[in-house]
Structure 1
């Protein structure tokens, strides 16, 4: 099995090739640059360097969000196109789960990956490793950081926080959780595309045509459009 993993859900752009539980190659950057321009050349370079062609691929795994609306759409669109064209399975994995899996395996507690969602909000969830398996303790959600930290004070074990946006909220987390809040090392904040590939290798495949990203919330423009539409329809009653 040769898996291509694609993650453009946040600033980190990552692609990986994993074959029979071996990481053949991995490309990753954390730059505020246009993923739509860079992701396909990254895939092509990686496959060429690993001496693989599209026909060798047997599965595509993509980070399905939450994260940047544009970034998530880019990765999902490319993954769907490749899966449909090559007639191979497509799997979507939570962008937060990738972070949790990459850091939590050897941590004796819970893992809370997070992405900043502005206005004091974060995308986050709660995960824990048990017997070598990553379990979801709390589903991915959009929540005020202060409310989330207050909720975590009742947990019976320390919580490891990870993510490139952690610096925005670290002080507040430390104030609320004290020593119960643990912060991942600098080198652990980028989600690894090879981890994404391994997470998706045994997951149930998606229907290529109906698969959509998990934004958790609507884009602001879409929410305003629906609100305006609702007002218009209400006025017609």
Structure 2
């Protein structure tokens, strides 16, 4: 059995963790949660490791979501992942939340997959993939009214918390069609783990010895005294 991989996600509106070894899912936890990630994450990690009968010393690699997402959620997940990776000298794979929600979606031959999160303020986080899940655009944050300009093709399958928002705009367009994917709208650590396994196989563990950076697509709301922006990452 290959060395287990631990993955977790706290970036959006859920908290999840998974332990996999090769094709086997040794443990998996998923819960919808908009708050309390910092308080609950380490307990969830301990829970899945215990269910998998795995100790931190047994792990061969780690994976974590890097955004886009909430500033607090991203900091919680990345700090925990960096700490574990440093303590055990483990490769750490960063996966975007947009990739994670798009990956389970099955598209027809001429459809594109639009991964969309509601970023509020009439904006969305958006990335578009082809039928083989190859990215056609970069991750971006755009006003909802401008989102269609960044979606190539005329037939779209949308997934994520902003999928219905995008579908509403597409319904107003005469030359485009859209359906909603029958998949979870939140990232899941199990999908993150599978994507990380594929990248480790393709690039090797040494490619992931440097901790991934967070993917911030929007400037922070919080201000330091004097109106300065806090340092990100």
Short-chain TM bin: 0.7 to 0.9
Note the C-alpha offset of 1:87: 1.0
- Does residue 199 of the first structure (1) align with residue 199 of the second (2)? no
What is the number of residues matched between the two proteins? 218
Higher mean displacement: 113-122 or 78-87: 113-122
The structure with the greater share of residues assigned to helix is 1
Higher mean displacement: 195-204 or 14-23: 195-204
Q: Is the 8 A contact 1:103 1:188 kept in 2?
A: no
Alignment of 1:1-237 (within 5 A): 1-104=3-106, 106-108=107-109, 109-130=111-132, 134-152=133-151, 155-176=152-173, 180-185=177-182, 187-201=183-197, 202-203=199-200, 204-208=207-211, 211-221=212-222, 225-226=228-229
Q: Deviations over 1:69-105 (max 9, x none)?
A: 111111111000000011111111111001111214x
Pair 116,21 (structure 1): closer, same or farther in 2 beyond 3 Å:
same
Q: Which runs of 5+ in 1 are unaligned?
A: 228-237
TM-score by length of 1: 0.84
Q: Deviations over 1:98-122 (max 9, x none)?
A: 1111214x54321111111122111
Pair 96,89 (structure 1): closer, same or farther in 2 beyond 3 Å:
same
Pair 18,146 (structure 1): closer, same or farther in 2 beyond 3 Å:
same
Distance 1:99 1:62 in 2: 14
Note the C-alpha offset of 1:180: 1.4
Pair 177,6 (structure 1): closer, same or farther in 2 beyond 3 Å:
farther
Pair 193,66 (structure 1): closer, same or farther in 2 beyond 3 Å:
same
TM-score by length of 2: 0.85
Note the C-alpha offset of 1:178: 6.9
Q: Deviations over 1:1-33 (max 9, x none)?
A: 311011100011111111012222211111223
Q: Superposition RMSD on alpha carbons, in Å?
A: 2.2
Indicate the structure (1 or 2) with the bigger Cα radius of gyration.
Answer: 1
